[in-house]
Structure 1
């Protein structure tokens, strides 16, 4: 398994001089690892799997990442569409743990691999590798608007601290995003970290797929950064009725949340928040 962190020597500069008068010192620093993960998918049999996507990610929970990616992109419907998912070697190379091979179950539709659905995703953008506007949009199988979830605002304001408390990788590097799955009473079910926000969400959703927990009705998803269109779409694809973020949403994220019937909360900091869609799920008294 690849490492999630690495060490480098850096020159640390502090213009407020230290006790001995030095303003710079060389010391080791811990960095978040960023490496490419290739996802191959297809039917059973030699030569049937073909490269579908390459995503820049932090190693760890890679099978969940691959399965979550396939689900949130609408390429599988449930864990029943996956026969096996395993780490494998790259072409003519030893096992570098940077390739996931997904064998689809009999009867599962094989994805059409064409330029519109051939992905290269960076750690900052999960949709930037798509070649058409139509390829960006997927539709959920789950009627999120019908989810009766309600969450006390007093519970919601505690979640950023609970998410932060579970970020071991961030403690070491300061460079990882987090996504946390919570119950309606604020219990943390699962937390995943990654250099890419969308990857952290896919790791959570992939775990839910493999554990046969979809749809994630009655749960909420908390993310450490902003609420983008792609994160809102991924939450919808997994049947999550409430998405909360410590930072701002985008206009398209708000539009999508309203269309889906999701609750979207942004700027969840301290004891304040902005509710951009679905305020009926928040209990303030």
Structure 2
């Protein structure tokens, strides 16, 4: 989503012009569980009481993917099957028009959140990742799927081609230059989905949410591409989703390398044709055949 604004360009020639700017708005994620023993007096069976999980700043669009991906990546639910419904609440802005900035999730019958959410009821910025894990040890102990047992093989050629295809589908970035993207390659190197957001972690959540809706978790044999650096939160989300290969355009941080090394994720940085830097587990990206 973009908005057209009047700006003043400065330089050799100063001019006023209209440019597209990426929209940044909050998204509040609420979760409600169906009661096990009926509905309280005066309650609404279609709208059980909900609790706010988090509020994150995001690029509007693909909100259900973002919501579902966030719940999975944070370890609050295990898969898309844990969710019965998702809906935008009818919240309104100062002018009385709907904002679509609240998504309410109702968990499937018999499902409850896998951990308390009190520590996640803060506002998350577009750069925030997992704030609930206190250490890498806690993260690794809670992994639902271990990428370390995945014997995937993804060629560097396929990764570079995927990065190019992802860039070609970044429509909001093309218009504004102000958003990140994440994409998913299947085991055959085909681009399955691309999502954009102002926050790199939100873009990854949108991809994981898409995969959860498709029933594709864990993402064995797949490669996750991200148009940013590889920080802790990106490596954490890849590990939780069971992604064996994580490829990022820019550098990796020390914590990202530690998470990838210990969880068994192949972490690539500086993925810019014809090169890439392998920080961990390079065996999954075989060198090009010199005879080709």
**Greater Cα offset, 223-232 or 183-192:** 183-192
Does 2:116 match 1:112?
yes
Secondary structure of the corresponding residue to residue 271 of structure 2? strand
The match for 2:30 is 40
Structure 2 residue aligned with 1:214, among 214, 217, 233? 217
Root-mean-square deviation over aligned CA pairs: 2.0
The match for 2:41 is none
- TM-score w.r.t. the length of structure 2 is 0.88
Paired with 2:110 and 2:31, the residues of 1 have a C-alpha distance of: 14
Paired with 1:159 and 1:59, the residues of 2 have a C-alpha distance of: 24
Structure 1 residue aligned with 2:235, among 203, 207, 232? 232
Structure 2 residue aligned with 1:245, among 218, 229, 248? 248
Structure-2 change in CA distance of 1:256 and 1:226 (3 Å) = same
Structure-2 change in CA distance of 1:131 and 1:72 (3 Å) = closer
The runs of 5 or more residues in structure 2 that have no matched partner are 35-44
Q: In the TM superposition, what is the alpha-carbon distance from 1:88 to its structure 2 partner?
A: 1.1
Paired with 1:254 and 1:174, the residues of 2 have a C-alpha distance of: 28
Q: In the TM superposition, what is the alpha-carbon distance from 1:107 to its structure 2 partner?
A: 1.7
Q: In the TM superposition, what is the alpha-carbon distance from 1:113 to its structure 2 partner?
A: 3.3
Paired with 1:134 and 1:281, the residues of 2 have a C-alpha distance of: 27
Paired with 2:147 and 2:17, the residues of 1 have a C-alpha distance of: 50
Does 2:76 match 1:75?
yes
Structure 1 residue aligned with 2:9, among 12, 31, 39? 12
Paired with 1:135 and 1:240, the residues of 2 have a C-alpha distance of: 17
Structure 2 residue aligned with 1:24, among 14, 27, 48? 14
Does 2:208 match 1:205?
yes
Q: In the TM superposition, what is the alpha-carbon distance from 1:185 to its structure 2 partner?
A: 3.7
Q: Alpha-carbon deviations, 1:214-251, whole Å to 9, x = none? A: 11111100000101110111111111110000100110
The match for 1:256 is 259
- Superposed, 1:122-133 pairs within 5 Å as 122-127=125-130, 130=131, 133=134
Instruction: After the TM superposition, list the runs of 4 or more consecutive aligned residues in structure 1 that deviate by more than 6 angstroms.
Output: none
Structure-2 change in CA distance of 1:80 and 1:248 (3 Å) = same
Secondary structure of the corresponding residue to residue 38 of structure 1? strand
The match for 1:164 is 167
Secondary structure of the corresponding residue to residue 81 of structure 2? helix
The match for 2:279 is 276
